[in-house]
A and B are shown apart, each in its own frame.
Chain A
Amino acid sequence: RKEVEQDPGPFNVPEGATVAFNCTYSNSASQSFFWYRQDCRKEPKLLMSVYSSGNEDGRFTAQLNRASQYISLLIRDSKLSDSATYLCVANDYKLSFGAGTTVTVRA
């Protein structure tokens, strides 16, 4: 079983819509989590860090559910520029990356 699993998508949504997707992790000892954004053929870039129950940054909200071992990312009022692959990362003694969820926002 992979340590971090994500629905690969793609999630196709119209501009202005809300989109949410989850990431499950297997190691209950994971102490912190991250969401990275990766544009096509580019490097991953940090979107958000999550150290407790969740985090919010503008239109982006991450929620952590330790009991069920998943973390979600919600994007409100989607923009065309939000089209990307979102990588979930769980941190115990090492960083474990999910394979990513692709989001496509259409006009």
Chain B
Amino acid sequence: DAGITQSPRHKVTETGTPVTLRCHQTENHRYMYWYRQDPGHGLRLIHYSYGVKDTDKGEVSDGYSVSRSKTEDFLLTLESATSSQTSVYFCAISEMGQGDGANVLTFGAGSRLTVL
């Protein structure tokens, strides 16, 4: 399996608190992504990165920020968590980027976040 790990795997927090999720890869892939998965919805892209310090917004980026200071690490931050951000968050990596026909993703195990 690809070397991609997420932490924490589970977190319960209260509304208004900051939360940071970490994604770490050992595959040296250029592209990294954060998705959220909710019942009845497909995976929705929050933010993605196409290189160190290079990031862009996805379709559901409001309330989230990201940082990528090293190739291997991609952090997702909820500055002030809300109940609507209760979800399962998946990090993914790929060798090809957005728009490439062969853009195959490898996912981390997921981080289950509950905001009370």
Q: Which residues of B contact A (CB under 8 A)?
A: 40-45, 90, 98-99, 101-110
Contacts and interface: CB of A to CB of B under 8 A. Distances in A.
Contacts, number: 51
A73 interface: no
A43 B109 contact: yes
Interface of A: 2, 4, 8, 31-32, 34, 41-46, 49, 51, 87, 91-100
21 contacts: A42-B110, A43-B90, A44-B43, A44-B90, A44-B105, A46-B105, A49-B102, A51-B101, A87-B42, A91-B101, A92-B99, A93-B98, A93-B99, A95-B45, A95-B103, A95-B105, A96-B42, A97-B42, A97-B43, A98-B42, A99-B41
B42 A100 contact: yes
Nearest to A34: B104
Given A43-B109, A43-B110, A46-B104, A94 B42 contact: no
